[in-house]
Amino acid sequence: MVVGPSDVTIDVELEPLDAEYPMIDALGDGFVVADARNRWKSDGSLAWLPAYDGVGWMDCYALNVGEELTWGCLYHEFPLVTVDRKGVRGIRGTSVRGARGLLVSGPLVAFLGEYDDYRHDRRRTAPSRQVTVSIGWSDDGDDVLVERKVPLTMPDGSEPPGQPRQVVCRDDRAFVRFDDAREWFVVQL
pLDDT in tens, 2-28: 344 444 445 556 666 554 443 333 344
Chain center to CA of 5: 17
pLDDT in tens, 151-163: 999 989 898 988 8
Radius of gyration of the chain, Cα coordinates, nearest whole angstrom: 17
Return d(Cα 12, Cα 30) in angstroms, integer.
33
User: Is 59 in contact with 39 (CB distance < 8 Å)?
Assistant: no
User: Is 44 in contact with 38 (CB distance < 8 Å)?
Assistant: no
DSSP string, 8-44: S----B-EE--TTS------BTTEEEETTTEEEETTS
Return d(Cα 188, Cα 108) in angstroms, integer.
12
Quick check: pTM over 0.75? no
For residue 65, the number of C-alpha atoms closer than 13 Å in the C-beta half-sphere is 17
pLDDT in tens, 92-135: 999 999 999 999 999 999 999 998 776 655 555 556 678 899 99
Return d(Cα 34, Cα 39) in angstroms, integer.
6
Return d(Cα 189, Cα 182) in angstroms, integer.
24
